[in-house]
Amino acid sequence: MGTGVPSSEQTSCAKTDPQNYCPEDTGDTEAVQVTDCESPEGDRPQNERCCSNPEDSGQLMASYEGKTKGYQVPPFGWRICLAHEFAEKRKPFNANDISLSNLVKHLGMGLRYLQWWYRKTQVEKKKPFIDLINCVPLRQIYGCPLGGIGGGTITRGWRGQFCRWQLNPGMYQHRTVIADQFTVCLRREGRTVYQQVLSVERPSVLRSWNWGLCGYFAFYHALYPRAWTVYQLPGQNVTLTCRQITPILPHDYQDSSLPVGVFVWDVENEGDEALDVSIMFSMRNGLGGGDDAPGGLWNEPFCLEHDGETVQGLLLHHPTLPNPYTMAVAARLTADTTVTHITAFDPDSTGQQVWQDLLQDGQLDSPADQSIPSQKGVGIAGAICATGKLPPRGRCRLEFSLAWDMPRVMFGAKSQVYYRRYTRFFGSDGDAAPALSHYALCRYSDWEERISAWQSPVLDDRSLPAWYKSALFNELYFLADGGTIWLEVPEDSLPQELVGNMCQLRPILREYGRFGYLEGQEYRMYNTYDVHFYASFALIMLWPKLELSLQYDMALATLKEDLTWRQYLMSGVMAPVKRRNVIPHDIGDPDDEPWLRVNAYVIHDTADWKDLNLKFVLQVYRDYYLTGDKGFLRDMWPVCLAVMESEMKFDKDQDGLIENGGYADQTYDAWVTTGPSAYCGGLWLAAVAVMVQMAALCGTQDIRDKFSSILSRGKEAYERLLWNGHYYNYDCSSQPQSSSIMSDQCAGQWFLRASGLGEGDTEVFPTPHVVRALQTIFEFNVQAFAGGSMGAVNGMQPHGVPDRSSVQSDEVWVGVVYGLAATMIQEGLTWEGFRTAEGCYRTVWERLGLAFQTPEAYCQQRVFRSLAYMRPLSIWAMQLALQQQQHKKASRPIAEQNTGLNTGPKEAMAKLNPE
């Protein structure tokens, strides 16, 4: 390999190497506490201390042969050995997976989609908002993303690779950049004794570097927004612990927006000889793809001293239009460390010059000048190196940061320039990368204290199962890595004629900015509202002002119209893009011009969907209930009246209950619903009940009386038409699936209970019926499906066979399952709720290898659909249900308790942010 290290000092990657293997310690990996018991006592999951099921997630660590547990790695989270291989390799859902009967049903849609896809890709040269032809392939590699909310993200895989990039807003590149690596160099008595790239890869470039780290002696541990990678260096008596930190800080609207990540390396010497240790951080300028091809990329060193703290590093300038940016790799200079660099090298060469430079003295040459701009088709990379003294039986720390500054962005249509949120604090001139690096390296300790204060109440709660603690925090990755954008809102961008009746709209958007996240990394639409209904719990509980901002944006879009006609792919009919006084499906495609052009979704004309308007009303009241913001409620009240008036036309027989239209006219957009239905009918009654409450709060007695009358008639019709003694029928059609057991049939009750309603004087659905329906769902959709180990299937026939009447009825939707689990907890079925949700977590994170890319759906066998999806953020509804369950035991109403469940902006959700 040409490493320059004597062969006697090299180590092999052998599981049974007697020099490295400590068999008596292998079992220690189970102490990670990522298992839980199968038979909890009472109605709560049993204490995790007694959990020892060998079939649980300890399998992810079964390959680990090291003895070290790393430096201050927490007990809870998602842990995996770098040598682990997932046995199950699934494929994305495609046309080959559709049954013949369903294929016939969707033949017209398929032909229209192919025509639309060809026009989009070959004529317009754009990427389809949903590309059913080129799905993202399975890659079981992802870990915690770097970067705060809305400034772009870079995902570092659990084996250490930089492999998923979202720098241009909403647009993803799934590319592993080989030059982006950490390398360790150990020197003893002036001689290099060990030099290794900390990667298990064996690439065809940079071949002079020592690749092929032994993965059996390393593991990864994720508890978002932090992650730890522990490397035991065989034969060296040295352990490296890399801690990755991103400023995801609830109720913080400044540091949470920063496009930065920090890597803290704690190096422990278990031997009796002193060492010099160097960590080199190399980074390619760009990703090696088409954006780099024109050339003109260049690097330069920098040093920034401020308030007695010094940071040194490299700036990698990437001036490619339309969104130029500068990347900064940096290290903190202290009295105990030295920081050196190499400004430029060819990442596609053998890399011998860089390797020998580090090997010679554990440092890099540090030329002072900037590099010359790269030539067309030629790559350029740079590296920094931090070096410290490692005493016998001692520890040293080396601190790095990665920052990127893309302050001004254009979406795909390139018609308008926007400024990212962080420019409010660091300027918009494109020269902030050094300041961002300095700030991150000086503030990360404070960030960690705040993260610990936020997470500790959950992590320390011994009544909660360990898998839940991992799922709750790790699923939050999507709030930053959902193609997320957080923009400043210029004063002149808000239409005065629409703003006038909403007193808080301008202050909210001006102070907290405009927020957007994708339906999924493969379903490229911002703020898809029928899905946000589920995911919104994370936002309202952790960043409530962003939820309110999103709601104001939705209200603005509701009052607008776009009468441009277009063909919808499912039906083939022509209809307007957007009608006035109906909630839009989404706020737009980042490859077009979101916010200016809404409703990128062209499958259905969603103006006739039955759930969108109702979900807006339900979220408005829940957001009011959880924030106590009466000004927000007053602003939203006229919009709620308008959308409910639009919804009234779906009650064709005036019985107080809306009817579905005989097609897939709701979030289950391939599952036909006809007449009164459990899902949409339940959402309707819940929304009507909420209108009664809001009318009282807004002092409009006549409107309250109107909706009270509708509610009374609708409740009677719902029970008469849909309740069968065990559950609510799917719908009222004459089709066999009419009697299917839908896992999501209690969605209306879920939101009512989350909003402090749905029981006692505000009961809408009879509590015995709700509990019985949930028990039936647990018995059939959970326990009778896949042995009870994969969550709840969307639809189950009453004789115990999954409903295969559509391509979605026999899927498991992870976000729906988490919402179902929350509903079970609300109704006192806590054990059933945890058991139901556990199946999804185990399947996604432990069995299928889909960590940090939780899909919308998977089937019992073979396939998954839509990786990295918004809806699973609904796990935060489980946390809200647990908190409300705790508060119910107290004598005072929630609104009177200092719990953050019904307080002002500074105190909102205080329990989740104890500081």
Q: What is the C-alpha to C-alpha distance for residues 342 and 367, in angstroms, rounded to an integer?
A: 7
What per-residue confidence (pLDDT) applies to 11? 43
Kindly tell me the sign of the dihedral angle through the C-alpha atoms of 651, 653, 655, 659: negative
Q: Which residue reads 């969108």 in tokens?
A: 612
How many CB atoms are closer than 10 A to CB 733? Answer: 18
Q: Residue 847, Cα to own-chain centre: how many angstroms?
A: 19
DSSP state for residue 34 in the 8-state scheme: -
Q: What is the C-alpha to C-alpha distance for residues 365 and 386, in angstroms, rounded to an integer?
A: 13
What per-residue confidence (pLDDT) applies to 104? 85
Per-residue pLDDT of 375-415, as tens digits, reads: 999 999 999 999 999 999 999 999 999 999 999 999 999 99
How close are the terminal C-alpha atoms of the chain, in Å?
A: 52
What per-residue confidence (pLDDT) applies to 13? 61
Which two three-digit tokens encode residue 237?
A: 């008596």
Q: Are 31 and 69 spatial neighbours (Cβ–Cβ below 8 Å)?
A: yes
Residue 869: φ, ψ to 5°: -115, 155
Q: What is the C-alpha to C-alpha distance for residues 395 and 68, in angstroms, rounded to an integer?
A: 14
Q: Are 867 and 520 spatial neighbours (Cβ–Cβ below 8 Å)?
A: yes
What per-residue confidence (pLDDT) applies to 275? 98
Burial 6-15, CB ≥16 within 10 A → b, else e: eeebbbebee
Q: Is the pTM of this model over 0.85?
A: yes
- Nearest one of 246, 240, 255, 147 to 197, comparing CA atoms: 240
Distances (CA, A) of 629 to 254, 539, 653, 754: 22, 16, 37, 16
Q: How many CA atoms lie within 13 A of 402 on its CB side?
A: 27
How many CB atoms are closer than 10 A to CB 322? Answer: 12
Question: How would you write 703-769 as a 3-class SS string?
Answer: HHHHHHHHHHHHHHHHHHHHECCCCECCECCCCHHHHCEECCCCHHHHHHHHCCCCCHHHCCCCHHH
In sequence order, the 6+-apart residues with CB closer than 8 A to the CB of 719 are 766, 769
In sequence order, the 6+-apart residues with CB closer than 8 A to the CB of 571 are 604, 605, 663
Distances (CA, A) of 198 to 158, 281, 324, 662: 12, 10, 30, 57
- Nearest one of 449, 469, 450, 451 to 459, comparing CA atoms: 469
Q: What is the C-alpha to C-alpha distance for residues 29 and 50, in angstroms, rounded to an integer?
A: 15
What per-residue confidence (pLDDT) applies to 453? 98
What is the DSSP track for 50-118? G---TTSGGGGGTT-------SS--SSSEEEETT---S---EE--GGGS-HHHHHHTHHHHHHHHHHHH
Q: Are 432 and 425 spatial neighbours (Cβ–Cβ below 8 Å)?
A: no
Per-residue pLDDT of 220-245, as tens digits, reads: 999 999 999 999 998 999 999 999 99
- The segments of the chain whose pLDDT lies below 50 read 1-12, 14-56, 891-915
Query: Rounded to the nearest 10 degrees, what angle do helices 544-558 and 612-627 cross at?
Result: 140
What per-residue confidence (pLDDT) applies to 791? 98
- Nearest one of 845, 31, 900, 45 to 473, comparing CA atoms: 845
What per-residue confidence (pLDDT) applies to 43? 42
Residue type, 828: G
